[in-house]
Chains A and B, each alone.
Chain A
């Protein structure tokens, strides 16, 4: 995965064959407004990819194309070797926290069990193997003691843990996570990233959108910087440099004496200021 700028680099066929996600010239959007244009991206099996970019850059749209939720207008896409959506049962998608109805009458356990529903098929009730998978997933994310709690009573971090557990319970080959570490405390972020790292070690592929550049730099293998178009894609240490970030974030980014300061409007409302999520040291801290 070389440093592909502007999406002009040719994708050799072996890259496509060894990628869990392969996008070529993808343009997609809603109504008649494209949200992403001409995206070129290949994500190898077992890698952790962070998709970064300002609000409205099309991060969620890109994820929806990969999940088969949005059909691209142009371009070709392959996910797990097939058209997006075709291998849906091997994909776990976790939506942004804001899109979930937290008053919905389901408990933590119910939500995690939903991860088992697609493989169960209609008319079948969860069996012992499904209950075991749910227990294991809850154990992994540290929510085993909250099984019977209604999801609305959880904190923001606990909610993200539960949705990650739902994805884990499905035992997917590909995780597509929309803002999994947004608005949660540092401890939860560490825990969730440890789990995802472990999944990557087991050969699972993780694609996550994030606003958190520090997390992207420290915990992900690769970063794709997008702002409607792909600005850059490559190893985290190469991508998160001031010049690329300036091009990605435009006027919302200031470079101050070797430190890159990101000024992004909807950035971490729930986190106390000065937690290190805004400041990003360009060279030193980029490598994990």
Chain B
């Protein structure tokens, strides 16, 4: 019974994969808790896709993908922030343009090179088992950076998410906080690229937080539940993918989706079968 859980831990690559997956699960869940409340799921997806050309350029130049993807994601995050504040077109339209344009640039650059096809494909769907020790160290540092910033500014981020006008009027720097947060989303996505890949990273960002949202009405508990869900589903998904020899990123996301579905059906709050709908609302 215990054996299938212990056996893979004997391999260094599995250990690294486990650490990287849990890291991605946790960091995504923490940042995702704000993403869900800010209604930024689409922006998160766009930033993830925008990392692709950066990753491709890093490969062409022979540099680390973390920097290439990070710079591209960060620039896109900042330009989305800028566009959404200034442009006269709807924000979702602007994001749609940036989203498709940057991803197309990535595919265009990708098609100009030969040889690294397998590695690059890994960034689209994730290949956490291939992660190296140095890479893992870089991801741990970046992940710790994101968690550190949120730990320092969680209440300012919360206030400016809940009531941007009230927060700004009482002296919180809501504009800079917004840019900082988009930057955090960009770094989070880079941390998660190896684990789940560009296409699925939005699920890591949104699903645990959305699940937690159905479990509690307090933000502090939401962020803790999301973190637990993100971390545990990453572990479960990685084991399942190892046992059945299937894609790890997709398996993690499927486990998260399954948990979401179960909570949706049976959850105490907002659950379709939950008691809340039966209780009369005190108007």
Residues of A near any B CB (own CB < 8 A): 31, 64, 67-69, 85, 88-89, 91-95, 99-101, 104-107, 110-111, 114-115, 117-118, 120, 122-123, 150, 152-153, 155, 166, 170, 172, 176
Interface presence of B211 (CB below 8 A): no
B168-208, CB < 8 A from A: 168-172
CA distance in complex: A112, B283 (Å) = 21
Q: Are B218 and A106 in contact (CB under 8 A)?
A: yes
Min Cβ gap A134→B in Å is 13
Q: Are B170 and A88 in contact (CB under 8 A)?
A: yes
Q: Are A100 and B163 in contact (CB under 8 A)?
A: yes
Chief secondary structure at chain B's binding surface: helix
What are 28 pairs between A and B in contact, CB < 8 Å?
A69-B165, A85-B171, A88-B170, A91-B171, A92-B169, A92-B170, A93-B165, A93-B166, A93-B169, A93-B170, A95-B163, A95-B165, A95-B166, A104-B37, A105-B213, A106-B217, A114-B155, A114-B162, A114-B167, A117-B159, A117-B167, A117-B170, A118-B170, A120-B155, A122-B152, A150-B217, A155-B282, A176-B169
- Find chain A residues with CB under 8 A from B153 CB: 122-123
Residue from the set B168, B219, B222, B282 with the largest chain A CB neighbour count within 10 Å: B168
CA distance in complex: A212, B172 (Å) = 31
Interface presence of B135 (CB below 8 A): no
- Find chain B residues with CB under 8 A from A123 CB: 152-153
Beyond known contacts A88-B169, A93-B170, A153-B281: 9 more, CB 8 A cutoff? A93-B169, A94-B166, A105-B216, A114-B158, A115-B170, A117-B156, A155-B282, A166-B166, A176-B169
CA distance in complex: A200, B216 (Å) = 39
- Find chain A residues with CB under 8 A from B219 CB: 105-106, 110
Q: Are B156 and A122 in contact (CB under 8 A)?
A: yes
- For chain B, give the interface size range: 20 to 34
- Find chain A residues with CB under 8 A from B281 CB: 153
Min Cβ gap A156→B in Å is 9
CA distance in complex: A89, B217 (Å) = 28
Residues of B near any A CB (own CB < 8 A): 37, 88, 152-153, 155-156, 158-159, 162-163, 165-172, 213, 216-219, 222, 281-283
CA distance in complex: A133, B16 (Å) = 48
Q: Are B171 and A105 in contact (CB under 8 A)?
A: no
CA distance in complex: A92, B169 (Å) = 7
Nearest A residue to B36, CB-CB: A105
Nearest A residue to B281, CB-CB: A153
Q: Are A107 and B169 in contact (CB under 8 A)?
A: no
Q: Are A104 and B162 in contact (CB under 8 A)?
A: yes
Min Cβ gap A81→B in Å is 16
Nearest B residue to A120, CB-CB: B155
Nearest A residue to B170, CB-CB: A118
- Find chain B residues with CB under 8 A from A150 CB: 217-218
Which 10 A-B pairs have CB atoms at the shortest separation, nearest pair first?
A88-B171, A93-B169, A150-B217, A67-B169, A118-B170, A89-B171, A118-B171, A114-B159, A95-B165, A123-B152
Nearest A residue to B213, CB-CB: A105
Nearest B residue to A123, CB-CB: B152
CA distance in complex: A114, B170 (Å) = 10
Q: Are A107 and B218 in contact (CB under 8 A)?
A: yes
- Find chain A residues with CB under 8 A from B152 CB: 122-123
CA distance in complex: A156, B283 (Å) = 8
Min Cβ gap A49→B in Å is 17
Q: Are A89 and B170 in contact (CB under 8 A)?
A: yes
Q: Are B170 and A106 in contact (CB under 8 A)?
A: no
Nearest B residue to A158, CB-CB: B282
- Find chain B residues with CB under 8 A from A172 CB: 170
Q: Are A105 and B165 in contact (CB under 8 A)?
A: no
Q: Which of B155, B167, B218 contacts A105 (CB 8 A)?
A: B218
Given contacts A69-B169, A88-B171, A153-B281, contact A114 B217 (CB under 8 A): no
CA distance in complex: A176, B213 (Å) = 32
Q: Are B172 and A99 in contact (CB under 8 A)?
A: no
CA distance in complex: A280, B166 (Å) = 32
